[in-house]
Structure 1
Amino acid sequence: MDKGVGASMDEKDWVILQTIFEERNISKASEKLYISQPALTYRLQNLEKEFGTIIVTRGKRGVEFTSQGEYIVQYARSMILQLRNIKEIVQNMDKEIRGVLRIGVSGIFARFELPEIIREFIRQYPNVEVNVKTGWSAEIIHLLQKEEVHLGIVRGNYIWPEEKYLFREEPMVIASKTPIKNLNELPSLPRINYETDQTQKTLIDNWWQETFDRPPTIRMDVNRIDTCKEMVLMGLGYAIFPSICLKKEDDIDKIKLINSNDEPLTRSTWLLYRERSLSLSAVNAFAKFLKQFQKA
């Protein structure tokens, strides 16, 4: 899009268009932006007049962007990213470590490890504003690719063409309130499943298939690992966990998973980022901090 097209739009318009595109609903977009629905509709109509085209069409299921509208949204996204990058570079022109640090973090790591890390990092670097987005590891990779975050902390092995650092590896374990004396009995014992990402699911499924010739006895399917852990602590069944979610004080019996080669099955945590991101003082400081935090 040429410079003349962008001249009629400002930063607020870019954000409005991107939010409507994400929400696909005018009322939800207005709530998210904290502006009235009539004001949002009025600004959208003005943009359509300025461009001389229909940007969105309205229907019972919300709004749909026309091909011209999608093109304008892509421009808006590009301008938001450029402006954010410029602000970050300007903030890093002095020697002080400050600015906004945007991190994408695997949900399970965010739940069990991240709070302590962020607390200590902010204590050392109080002028850094930390923005965290959580989700499945595959979603974090997507955020990195779109440059919506500076660094990603993901679980499992994913293809990433730039910088990656192995932060931690921990064993996968069978956790049960009552000690399991004979592993051959496992298929007949009640198991509690929880929602997890595909890489961990595949790891567990492959281990099971090479260890047993019949499926597990699933007693419960829950959506959160926290809920599953509480069920196990109540003696309602066993579960297979990455040991990141188990604490020393948990009154629980643990058996490490061993594969057919007598090797422990582990779950890895990676720090991913782009080399050029280290030019930002806050990003560089966090990458160094995390590596030192691992050794502490």
Structure 2
Amino acid sequence: MDEKDFALLHVLKECGNITHAADRLYLTQSALSKRIKAIERELGCDIVLRTRKGVRFTPAGELALAHTAQAAHELDLLRRELDAAQDTICGTLNAGFALNYSFMHLPQLLTEYHRRYPQVQLNIVTAKSRDLHAILQRNELDVAVLRGEFPWDGMQYLLSQERICAVCTHENEHTPLSELTYINHTTDIAHTALMTRWLHENNLAQTASRINVSDLMTCQELVKRGIGWALLPEVVLAGFDGCVRPCTFSNGEPFIRRMYIDCQKEAEQLPQVQALVDLIKEQYAHRSNAGVIGTAVSPATALSDLP
């Protein structure tokens, strides 16, 4: 068996179907079946069972999966350590970015990173923070930029603390928020709890008219069009021409949302990983100094029914 066989077994397990696995591996079904038979002959046992619903791994197959996954991981670590011993920053970098960060900053970041380190192979994933956290925990990413609070025992940098603001158009700024449509966006459980707390403290939790959307950018666009009001982080408010008020809880604590860079322990010392972390912090600091983050939010205008 070799690394191609390790990957073949992993894909077959993911797909659970010969046809789909063959498509993923750019093989014919016949070629894939022959390779499975060859692996079984080499191991001296059956590793998959074919059923009407697809394929299932036998107990021996599950054992083979576990060992081949570990072998693939060890080979990857060997290559990375050899890369780290070289003077040139190269190797492979598996990185994940939260959707909102990706929308605002990722193209510029990757363009600059590739310009500086063209020999690094980049494997990039963009997803919601909670999904990236799950991928990171499965050790499928070296580093990830996440928004929100997620447990992590590896290296972690606090990248930013964004104020959460109540926003609406200037046309709606003198209308009590309780009389406007509240535009809510989907987020993680911890941030949802803080939003609910703020709404309760300001007697806005029972707003009759509500629209639920899945992302911040749609939420912001609906506010711009005068549909209603929303609770939005500063990261999406650069250039927003409307009524903006940073939120505070009843105990005087500011309503903030943090952004972190989380990194695997074993990947922390890899030059290509550290170079990405340094570049993210460098560009974020530059945007902050230039007034793009945080200070770009227009001066707060009192919303009618808030203290």
TM-score of the two chains, using structure 2 as the length reference? 0.83
What's the counterpart of residue 129 of structure 2?
A: 137
What's the counterpart of residue 256 of structure 1?
A: 246
Separation in 2 of the partners of 1:255 and 1:204? 15
The CA deviation at 1:165 is 0.8
Provide Cα deviations, 1:196-219, integer angstroms capped at 9, x if missing partner. 222322221222223226423354
Match of 1:199 among 183, 190, 193: 190
The CA deviation at 1:179 is 4.9
State which drifts further: 196-205 or 208-217: 208-217
Over aligned residues, Cα RMSD in angstroms? Answer: 2.3
Separation in 1 of the partners of 2:204 and 2:166? 18
* Contact 1:187/1:214 (8 A) holds in 2: no
The answer as to 2:85 corresponding to 1:98 is: no
The CA deviation at 1:119 is 2.0
* Contact 2:163/2:233 (8 A) holds in 1: yes
Alignment of 1:38-187 (within 5 A): 38-181=30-173, 185-187=176-178
Provide Cα deviations, 1:131-190, integer angstroms capped at 9, x if missing partner. 21122323323333332221121111222123211011111122323455468x323421
Separation in 1 of the partners of 2:217 and 2:272? 32
State which drifts further: 13-22 or 202-211: 202-211
The CA deviation at 1:267 is 0.9
Separation in 2 of the partners of 1:117 and 1:268? 20
Q: 1:48 to 1:268 in 2, by over 3 A?
A: same
Q: 1:245 to 1:61 in 2, by over 3 A?
A: farther
* Contact 2:185/2:215 (8 A) holds in 1: yes
* Contact 2:93/2:142 (8 A) holds in 1: yes
The CA deviation at 1:295 is 2.2
Q: 1:264 to 1:60 in 2, by over 3 A?
A: farther
The answer as to 2:282 corresponding to 1:292 is: yes
Separation in 1 of the partners of 2:155 and 2:167? 34
What's the counterpart of residue 269 of structure 2?
A: 279
What is the letter of the counterpart of residue 281 of structure 2? K
Separation in 2 of the partners of 1:144 and 1:243? 26
What is the letter of the counterpart of residue 31 of structure 1? D
* Contact 1:192/1:238 (8 A) holds in 2: yes
Q: 1:84 to 1:271 in 2, by over 3 A?
A: same
Separation in 1 of the partners of 2:219 and 2:49? 44
Separation in 2 of the partners of 1:213 and 1:278? 44
TM-score of the two chains, using structure 1 as the length reference? 0.86
The answer as to 2:180 corresponding to 1:189 is: yes
SS at match of 2:20: helix
What is the letter of the counterpart of residue 29 of structure 2? Q
What's the counterpart of residue 30 of structure 1?
A: 22
The answer as to 2:215 corresponding to 1:224 is: yes
Structure 2: stretches of 5+ with no match in the other structure: 287-307
Identity %: 29
Provide Cα deviations, 1:60-82, integer angstroms capped at 9, x if missing partner. 44333333222211112112211
Separation in 2 of the partners of 1:105 and 1:217? 35
Structure 1: stretches of 5+ with no match in the other structure: 1-8
